[in-house]
Amino acid sequence: MNGLSRSFVAGVVAMLGLLGALQKTNASDLPDDSYFQLDILLETQAGEGLRLSEMQGGPLIVAMFYASCPHVCPMTVSTIRAIESQLPSEARERLQVLMITFDPERDTPAALADLAERHRVNNDRWRFVRTAAAEVRPVAAVLGIKYRQLPDGGFNHSSPILLLDGEGREISRSEKLGMPDPVFVQAVATALQGK
Amino acid sequence: MKPMHACAKLVLAATILAPACSLAGDTPARIEAGSLKSVLPLTEDAEAVAIGEFLLDRRSVTNREFLAFVVRSPDWRRAAALPLFADQNYLAHWEDALTLGDAALPEQPVINVSWFAARAYCEADGGRLPTWHEWEYVAAADETETDARAKPAWRQRILAWYSETGGKALPEVGGRSANAWGVHDMHGLIWEWVDDFNALLVSGDNREQGGADKMQFCGAGAATMEEKENYAVLMRTALLSSLRGSDTTRNLGFRCAYDVKGEGT
């Protein structure tokens, strides 16, 4: 791999060593089928480390992307924004969005922050994150997302948008990009009502 | 490089003891770097995929070996493994969490293992799962040539295996002669996980249908492939790409690969 990922991991691991005592109970209290059981470290566009299990409380929209992606990934972001726009604003404020990159090597916090800026998302609710390089495939496996890296550094990938409940269980999934899938929007609205 | 196998250590320490261990079977095979014209090229115009040197287990991981792993790793015992990482049939053919029983002979390949479990096993052994291209590269060999795919007999043998009816007891690992790399049973015994099983985009995204035991292969997927002669190998990619990481099936096991010391990745 590369020095970049290693130093990232080392830094995050050091920090989470401190947080670990506080967060320790989280994963074990989760349901067995919670995606948060894959309790990996994430690094956000703000350069902050957090564990996947810290996304508890949701509901949470999750998708995967990479910043240099020319077509599909911007569409994923805009589709999620379109889904949000169909929610009452007070419900929308309680929705969390987690965008996980396929490309942790190039998608540094700075690159992720640029992307967040470009898409004008709410940085309090939207997290663009990378994992350690070795964790990308397990994350994709848990989320049921397929991808492979191409010789030019790009990725082929499937592009589902997932809705997880506050405990990390999948409630709904949409493969539809562009116009939001009404069934999915309804699932998001219902999940937010239940909060 | 892989932490040296206990058996290999013993052999190196006192080579005269070699007969006490089956050295040939226990040290991974060294696979030379090369290039592969894959059934799954990375791009439409890609001529070949470069394969770096690596080591590969000569045989599929056995029930005996996997039992030793779960003894050391309580999280991966049958009742303890989380459903997110291993479905309800995980190691279902074993008598209980720490007993193989009559339906799981020690030297049969372990089956009913999920991708997450296979990955954990290899990592605990200082290795990893092979990539699809690495697997395909080694599986292209017959007994005499490292790339025998142009031979009708190579293809015919694989297809004949596919057409065997199920229900027979699995043979033990290593029962067939080794291929040109010194690796056994790439075909003819079980199907095997690869690390990037969820990179294989050949078949439709039909995870929702049926159980994983039912091969979810559709003709449309095959028709997009240029080399129809590769059908035999494409069947593998179709199966693997239809699975989730927690799935287990009665004919799917694995073997581990290892980076060669000094390789940067």
Q: What are phi and psi of B217, to 5 degrees?
A: -115, 130
* Mean pLDDT over each residue of chain A, to the nearest integer: 86
CB contacts of B241 in chain A (<8 Å) are 146
pLDDT score, position A11: 53
Q: What is the pLDDT of residues A90-128, one digit of tens each?
A: 999 999 999 999 999 999 999 999 999 999 998 889 999
d(CA B26, CA B144): 21
CB contacts of A176 in chain B (<8 Å) are none
Q: Which of residues 73-92 of B touch A (CB under 8 A)?
A: 82-85
Mean pLDDT, residues B16-38 taken together: 69
CB contacts of A156 in chain B (<8 Å) are 199, 201
State the pLDDT confidence band at B180, using cuts at 50, 70 and 90. very high
pLDDT score, position B217: 32
pLDDT score, position A178: 83
* Reduced 3-state DSSP string for B51-79: ECCEEECCCCCEHHHHHHHHHHCHHHCCC
d(CA B174, CA B25): 8
State the pLDDT confidence band at B20, using cuts at 50, 70 and 90. very low
Q: Is A137 on the interface with B (CB under 8 A)?
A: yes
* Alpha-carbon dihedral sign for residues A147, A148, A154, A156: negative
A169 vs B203, higher pLDDT: A169
pLDDT at B69 over 70: yes
B25 Cα to chain A: minimum distance (Å):
29
Are the Cβ atoms of B116 and A138 closer than 8 angstroms?
yes
Look up the ipTM and state it: 0.81
List the single range of B18-32, B93-107, B186-200, B220-234 with lowest mean pLDDT: B220-234
Partners of A173 in beta bridges: A162
pLDDT at B140 over 90: yes
pLDDT score, position B38: 83
d(CA B211, CA B225): 25
Q: What is the pLDDT of residues B48-67, one digit of tens each?
A: 889 999 999 999 999 999 99
Are the Cβ atoms of B82 and A37 closer than 8 angstroms?
yes
Q: In chain B, which ranges are E strands?
A: 29-31, 34-36, 49-51, 54-56, 191-192, 252-253, 257-259
pLDDT at A168 over 90: yes
List the single range of A63-72, A181-190, B112-121, B226-235 with lowest mean pLDDT: B226-235
Q: What is the pLDDT of residues A24-81, one digit of tens each?
A: 345 568 898 899 999 899 999 999 999 999 999 979 999 999 998 877 778 899 999 9
pLDDT at A193 over 80: yes
Q: What is the pLDDT of residues B83-118, one digit of tens each?
A: 999 999 999 999 999 999 999 999 999 999 999 999
d(CA B253, CA B115): 9
Mean pLDDT, residues A157-184 taken together: 92
Percentage of chain A with pLDDT > 90? 63
pLDDT score, position B18: 35
Mean pLDDT, residues B12-36 taken together: 63
Are the Cβ atoms of B84 and A142 closer than 8 angstroms?
yes
Angle ∠(A9,A15,A16) on CA atoms, nearest 5: 85
pLDDT score, position B155: 84
Placement of tokens 């492939």 in the chain:
B225
Angle ∠(B59,B60,B63) on CA atoms, nearest 5: 120
State the pLDDT confidence band at A172, using cuts at 50, 70 and 90. very high
List the single range of A11-15, A55-59, A191-195, B235-239 with lowest mean pLDDT: A11-15
Mean pLDDT, residues A77-89 taken together: 93
* Angle, helix B231-241 to helix B132-139, in steps of 10 degrees: 150
pLDDT at B82 over 70: yes
State the pLDDT confidence band at A10, using cuts at 50, 70 and 90. low
Spell B194-229 as b/e; 16+ CB within 10 A means b: bbbbbbbbbbeeeeeeeebeebbbeeebbeebeeee
Are the Cβ atoms of A146 and B199 closer than 8 angstroms?
yes
d(CA A65, CA B9): 45
pLDDT at B45 over 80: no
B206 vs B182, higher pLDDT: B182
Interface test with A, best of B39, B45, B49, B82 (most A CBs within 10 A): B82
State the pLDDT confidence band at A190, using cuts at 50, 70 and 90. very high
d(CA B225, CA B215): 18
